[in-house]
Chains A and B, each alone.
Chain A
Amino acid sequence: MSGYVSRYAPRPGTIEPLGGQRQTVSAGATEAVSIELRRIDQTFGPNRVLRGIDLDVPAGQFLAIVGKSGCGKSTLLRLLVGLDRPTSGSLRFADRSGDTVEANARIVFQEPRLLPWARVVDNVAVGLGQDVDENTAHVKALMVLDEVQLLDKADQWPARLSGGQRQRVALARALVSRPGLLVFDEPLGALDALKRITMQQLVSRVWRELGFTAILVTHDVSEAVHLADRVIVLDGGKVALDLDIAAEHPRHHGDPDLAVFERRLLNAILGAD
Chain B
Amino acid sequence: MTAYDVASDRSPQRRSWVLPAPSARRILLKEFLPYAVPILVVLIWQILSSAGWISTRVMPAPTDVAGAFVDQLLSGALVHNVAVSGARALAGLIVGGTIGLALGIANGISKLSEQLTDTSLQMLRTIPHLAMIPLVILWFGIGEESKLFLTSLGVLFPIYLNTFHGVRNVDRELIEMGRIYGMNGWTLFRKVILPGALPSIFVGLRYALGIMWLTLIVSESIAASSGIGHMANQAREFMMTDVVVLSLLIYAALGKLADVIAKTMERHALSWNPVYQR
Contacts and interface: CB of A to CB of B under 8 A. Distances in A.
Contacts of B177: 109, 113
Interface string A108-136: 01010101111000000011011100000
Interface residues of B, number: 21
Interface string B182-214: 110001000110011010000000000000000
Interface residue SS majority, chain B:
helix
B115 to A, nearest CB: 25
Given A157-B277, A159-B272, A159-B277, A107 B180 contact: yes
B173 interface: yes
A103 to B, nearest CB: 13
A83 interface: yes
B176 A117 contact: no
Interface residues of A, number: 21
Nearest to A131: B182
Nearest to B182: A129
Contact of B191 (A83, A115, A157, A158): A115
B195 A83 contact: no
**In terms of DSSP, what is the predominant structure of the interface of chain A?**
loop
A111 B191 CA distance: 19
B174 interface: yes
Contacts of A117: 195-196, 198, 270, 272-273
Contacts of A118: 191, 272
A219 B187 CA distance: 36
B76 interface: no
A187 B173 CA distance: 15
B173 A109 contact: yes
A115 B180 contact: no
A173 B174 CA distance: 14
A127 B173 contact: no
Contacts of A158: 272
B53 interface: no
B187 A130 contact: yes
A113 B174 contact: yes
Contacts of B178: 126
A157 B272 contact: yes
A91 to B, nearest CB: 17
A14 to B, nearest CB: 23
B274 interface: yes
A116 B182 contact: no
Given A159-B272, A159-B273, A113 B173 contact: yes
B156 to A, nearest CB: 26
B238 interface: no
A115 B181 contact: no
A239 interface: no
Given A159-B272, A159-B273, A159-B274, A130 B173 contact: no
A202 interface: no
Contacts of A130: 182-183, 187
A174 B43 CA distance: 66
B183 A115 contact: no
A117 B273 CA distance: 7
A41 B181 CA distance: 26
A116 B273 contact: yes
Interface string A82-114: 010000000000000000000000110101010
Given A83-B180, A113-B173, A116-B272, 17 more contacts: A113-B174, A115-B191, A115-B192, A115-B195, A116-B273, A117-B195, A117-B196, A117-B198, A117-B272, A118-B272, A126-B181, A130-B182, A130-B183, A157-B274, A159-B273, A159-B277, A160-B274
17 contacts: A81-B180, A83-B180, A109-B173, A113-B174, A113-B177, A115-B174, A115-B191, A115-B192, A117-B195, A117-B270, A126-B181, A126-B183, A130-B183, A130-B187, A157-B277, A159-B273, A160-B274
Interface of B: 173-174, 176-178, 180-183, 187, 191-192, 195-196, 198, 270-274, 277
- In order of increasing CB-CB distance, the 7 nearest A-B pairs are A129-B182, A117-B195, A113-B177, A117-B272, A159-B274, A157-B272, A126-B181
